[in-house]
């Protein structure tokens, strides 16, 4: 559902060559992020504070080693061209890096110190928060498609708040409703039978069982 919302966001901005590349990168980012979260839960499970801090530190160290040289390689292979360092928006870049660091620390450590559902709700609220910033600062017009995409992405995040055995719980709930209805139907049939027998006695009718 998140990927569907991303494609709808790109559709709201009108598809062109750059937007298709952006959608492809966004879909890849969402997929790898989901894989990362699943592997984290699979190998670490419910990590304590020390394990979470050690994992985040190791992850940052590996990112520094294996990802930092990528722009340098692209520059020397003439794939990318760097403008003067003074022309780069250092304020926006440093602000984004700081916010991204705070987000990762709050998500990974906050799950250990607080409740996981609290972190999940905070992640869900970041979507309408970003939409409000775009609306106020960037003056982005929210049409029906963009609004529907935002709602679909939020629903996708809300589905992750369901318990792990939500399907079994739902099936048990449906079965209990069916059993309750069948019991009520049996009680109604028994009551109607008792009422019929009492009426027959009142009318002087006697039912003779057949051999």
From the CB of residue 80, how many other CB atoms can be counted at a distance below 10 Å? 12
> Percentage of residues in the chain with pLDDT exceeding 70?
78
Q: pLDDT-based confidence at 94, cuts 50/70/90? A: very high
pLDDT at 80 > cutoff 70? yes
Contact (Cβ atoms closer than 8 angstroms) between residue 3 and residue 155: no
Contact (Cβ atoms closer than 8 angstroms) between residue 30 and residue 3: yes
Average per-residue pLDDT for the chain: 75
For residue range 149-183, what is the model confidence (pLDDT) as tens digits?
Answer: 888 888 877 777 776 677 788 888 888 888 877 76
Token representation of residue 148: 């529907």
Would residue 45 be called left, alpha or beta, if left means φ above 0 and alpha means ψ between -120 and 50 degrees? left
Contact (Cβ atoms closer than 8 angstroms) between residue 156 and residue 1: yes
Residues 6+ apart with CB under 8 A from 100: none
pLDDT attached to residue 206: 46
Of 10, 88, 98, 104, which Cα lies nearest the Cα of 56? 104
CA distance 52 to 44: 9
Query: Which one of 92-101, 187-196, 202-211 scores highest in mean pLDDT?
Result: 92-101
CA distance 119 to 161: 10
For residue range 128-153, what is the model confidence (pLDDT) as tens digits?
Answer: 787 778 778 777 677 788 788 888 88
């Amino acid at each position: 559902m998140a990927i569907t919302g991303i494609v709808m966001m790109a559709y709201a901005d009108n598809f062109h060559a750059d937007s298709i590349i952006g959608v492809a990168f966004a879909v890849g980012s969402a997929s790898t992020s989901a894989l990362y979260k699943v592997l984290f839960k699979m190998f670490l499970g419910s990590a304590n504070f020390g394990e979470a801090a050690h994992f985040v530190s190791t992850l940052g160290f590996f990112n520094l080693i294996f990802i930092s040289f990528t722009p340098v390689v692209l520059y020397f292979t003439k794939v990318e061209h760097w403008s003067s360092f003074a022309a780069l928006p250092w304020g926006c870049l440093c602000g984004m890096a700081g916010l991204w660091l705070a987000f990762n620390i709050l998500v990974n450590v906050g799950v250990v110190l607080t409740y996981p559902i609290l972190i999940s709700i905070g992640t869900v609220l970041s979507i309408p928060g970003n939409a409000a910033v775009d609306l106020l600062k960037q003056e982005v017009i929210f049409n029906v498609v963009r609004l529907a995409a935002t709602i679909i992405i939020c629903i996708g995040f809300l589905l992750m708040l369901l318990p792990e055995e939500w399907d079994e719980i739902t099936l048990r709930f449906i079965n209990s409703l069916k059993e309750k209805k069948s019991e009520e139907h049996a009680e109604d049939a028994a009551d109607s039978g008792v009422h019929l027998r009492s009426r027959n006695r009142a009318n002087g009718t006697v039912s003779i069982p057949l051999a």
